[in-house]
């Protein structure tokens, strides 16, 4: 927050603007370290009536007051199992964790929990990630809404997963040289025959062309598909990712045509403006019958036109 003269006032303005325009109540936490800021955010959500949705830990008194009242499992990075381990050391609140000996925590648990304790004391140990590093692998996987026995709907699913993975691939400016396709049946029903198999395909050149990767993925599916099974899930994994301009190509090896890159740019531009799926490969269905079950999906009034209430006028 360096350079901002009134952080709390700015946070309240942001919260009020979001509430006015989107109708979503939010909580904002501000602190000297990443862990304290996350804890302040949890407090802002927990005590909205008292805090107005904003908690600013600008003094040791405020920090200590909050640490003494927050359970240790409210601390970022402390899960159920870690809570049990810390409980054996007599640590039940965030204050207890902050007062614990850092080297003992490191010896008994890990350097991560040691850094967490130091952060709770106001010592920055975790850097803010302004730009996240590009992924080394990109996975797209979903369980089917129902068991699938025929290859055709599984082929549609694989093409859909490839299209989603390629969107992420282009978003981070990478190219893909290998793709892994796998399918499996359900693993927990004793009455179903079990089968799982995957294969890695080598692409002719590093590419982000959805059409080429779908073609390779469907050929891979043909190689591993076996009849007589009830398939529950498919997975597509883009591997051997390379950033543009950060690898040396083979002088005699083929390269992705420039026209393919332009086509993909137009595809992403149209979908970015008009919504995902506006323009898509023909193998990707708009509303697949094999899609995940979403009977209990939360309403999305502010982000999806189809989620708006319909009020008939008579």
11 in any annotated domain? yes
- Tens digits of residue pLDDT in 231-282: 999 999 999 998 877 666 666 777 888 899 999 999 999 999 988 889 999 9
Last residue of a domain, one of 61, 85, 120: 120
Nearest C-alpha neighbor of 70 from the set 102, 39, 34, 38 = 39
303 in any annotated domain? no
**269 in the same domain as 144:** yes
295 in any annotated domain? no
90 in any annotated domain? yes
Domain span at 56: 7-120
**151 in the same domain as 91:** no
284 in any annotated domain? no
**270 in the same domain as 142:** yes
Is the Cβ–Cβ distance between 73 and 80 less than 8 Å? yes
**146 in the same domain as 96:** no
**193 in the same domain as 242:** yes
Q: How far is CA 233 from CA 124, 149, 168, 184, in A?
A: 43, 11, 21, 6
209 vs 298: CA distance, rounded Å: 34
Is the Cβ–Cβ distance between 250 and 180 less than 8 Å? no
33 vs 70: CA distance, rounded Å: 17
Of the ranges 57-66, 212-221, 298-307, which one carries the lowest mean pLDDT score? 298-307
Pairing mode of beta strands 28-30, 54-56: parallel
Please tell me whether the overall predicted TM-score, pTM, comes out greater than 0.85 for this model: no
27 in any annotated domain? yes
252 vs 204: CA distance, rounded Å: 12
Q: What is the pLDDT of residue 251?
A: 66
**268 in the same domain as 143:** yes
Q: What is the pLDDT of residue 286?
A: 85
**260 in the same domain as 153:** yes
**206 in the same domain as 166:** yes
Q: What is the mean pLDDT of residues 58-85?
A: 91
**59 in the same domain as 162:** no
CATH code for the domain in which residue 20 is found: 1.10.150.20
CATH code for the domain in which residue 181 is found: 3.30.1490.100
Q: What is the pLDDT of residue 295?
A: 65
Number of domains in the chain: 2
61 in any annotated domain? yes
221 in any annotated domain? yes
Is the Cβ–Cβ distance between 292 and 233 less than 8 Å? no
- Tens digits of residue pLDDT in 102-136: 899 999 988 999 999 999 999 998 876 666 778 89
**265 in the same domain as 163:** yes
Tell me what the pLDDT averaged over the chain comes to.
89
Q: Which residues contact 104 (CB under 8 A, 6 or more apart)?
A: none
**159 in the same domain as 109:** no
**98 in the same domain as 65:** yes
Last residue of a domain, one of 75, 92, 120: 120
Q: What is the mean pLDDT of residues 208-212?
A: 95
- Tens digits of residue pLDDT in 188-209: 888 889 999 999 999 999 999 9
């Amino acid at each position: 927050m360096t350079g901002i003269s009134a952080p709390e006032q700015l946070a309240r303005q942001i919260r009020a603007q979001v509430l006015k325009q989107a109708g979503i109540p939010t909580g904002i936490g501000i602190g000297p370290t990443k862990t304290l800021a996350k804890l302040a955010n949890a407090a802002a959500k927990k005590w909205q009536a008292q805090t107005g949705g904003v908690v600013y830990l600008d003094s040791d008194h405020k920090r200590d007051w909050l640490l003494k009242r927050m359970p240790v499992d409210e601390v970022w990075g402390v899960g159920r199992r870690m809570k049990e381990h810390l409980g054996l050391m007599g640590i039940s609140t965030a204050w207890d964790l902050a007062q614990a000996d850092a080297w003992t925590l490191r010896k008994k648990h890990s350097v991560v929990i040691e850094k967490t304790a130091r952060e709770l004391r106001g010592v920055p140990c975790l850097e803010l990630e302004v730009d996240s590093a590009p992924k080394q692998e990109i996975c797209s996987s979903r369980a089917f809404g129902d068991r699938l026995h025929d290859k055709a709907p599984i082929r549609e699913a694989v093409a859909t997963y490839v299209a989603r993975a390629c969107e992420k691939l282009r978003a981070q400016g990478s190219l893909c040289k290998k793709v892994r396709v796998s399918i499996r049946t359900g693993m927990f029903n004793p009455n179903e025959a079990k089968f799982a198999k995957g294969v890695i395909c080598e692409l002719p050149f590093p590419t982000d062309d959805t059409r080429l990767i779908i073609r390779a993925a469907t050929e891979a599916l043909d190689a591993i598909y076996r009849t007589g099974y009830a398939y529950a899930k498919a997975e597509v994994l883009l591997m051997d990712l390379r950033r543009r301009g950060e690898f040396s190509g083979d002088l005699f090896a083929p390269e992705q045509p420039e026209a393919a890159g332009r086509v993909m740019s137009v595809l992403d531009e149209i979908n970015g403006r008009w919504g995902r799926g506006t323009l898509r490969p023909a193998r990707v269905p708009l509303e697949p019958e094999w899609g995940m079950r979403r009977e209990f999906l939360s309403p999305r009034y502010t982000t999806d036109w189809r989620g708006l209430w319909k009020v008939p006028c008579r």
